[in-house]
């Protein structure tokens, strides 16, 4: 009799043969051994993107993922940014200044820094002196002016992460 679900035919443990005819144990119940420090170093940095322009948010996500960063979420308001930062605990928040809703990115960055200790990289076309002075209280990880190239975005992310990781 043939099983009703063809997928059941393929539920066999997988084993690979190594040179010399030995098996590597893939599919066995024994968990592979990993060094936690190596796993942490190899895991991609987790980024939160806060951007009210859907196309720009998607472009940032695409470029970041292409460079092996993990984008945990894209949000459009200050309230969503705070919620997402507290829920996901990313290493870095890429924050636009002008957002949908009543609050702006500076407000969100201040609250995220205060409540979660996470720095923001401001990614905005709005970086006049008054905005920058107000944003300094959030101790930003950096500033990236729009428009920007892929290499400028990745360089700013890399620099912001390096600065964050070097701080105690």
What's the angle, vertex CA 98, arms to CA 94 and CA 101, rounded to 5?
105
Confidence of residue 127 (pLDDT cuts 50, 70, 90): confident
Cβ atoms of 144 and 113 within 8 Å: the answer is no
Q: Would you tell me how many other CB atoms lie within 10 Å of the CB of residue 132? A: 15
User: May I ask the CATH class of domain 45-166?
Assistant: alpha beta
Confidence of residue 143 (pLDDT cuts 50, 70, 90): very high
Domain residue ranges of the chain, discontinuous segments joined by +: 45-166
Mean pLDDT of the chain: 82
pLDDT above 90 (res 12): no
Cβ atoms of 88 and 75 within 8 Å: the answer is no
Predicted structure pTM score: 0.74
Token digits of residue 71:
């984008």
Q: What is the CA radius of gyration of the chain?
A: 22
């Amino acid at each position: 009799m043939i099983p009703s679900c063809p997928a059941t035919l393929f539920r066999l443990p997988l084993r690979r043969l190594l040179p010399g005819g030995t098996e590597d144990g893939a599919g066995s119940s024994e968990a592979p051994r990993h060094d936690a420090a190596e796993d942490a170093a190899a895991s991609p940095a987790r980024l939160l993107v806060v951007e009210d322009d859907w196309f720009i948010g998607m472009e940032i996500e695409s470029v970041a993922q292409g460079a092996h960063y993990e984008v945990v979420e894209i949000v459009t308001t200050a309230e969503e940014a705070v919620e997402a930062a507290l829920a996901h605990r990313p290493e870095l928040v890429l924050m636009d200044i002008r957002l949908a809703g009543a609050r702006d990115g500076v407000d969100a960055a201040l609250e995220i820094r205060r409540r979660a200790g996470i720095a923001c990289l401001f990614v905005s076309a709005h970086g006049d002196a008054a905005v920058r002075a107000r944003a300094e209280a959030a101790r930003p990880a950096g500033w990236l002016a729009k428009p920007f190239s892929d290499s400028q975005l990745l360089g700013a992310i890399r620099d912001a992460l390096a600065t964050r990781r070097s701080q105690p």
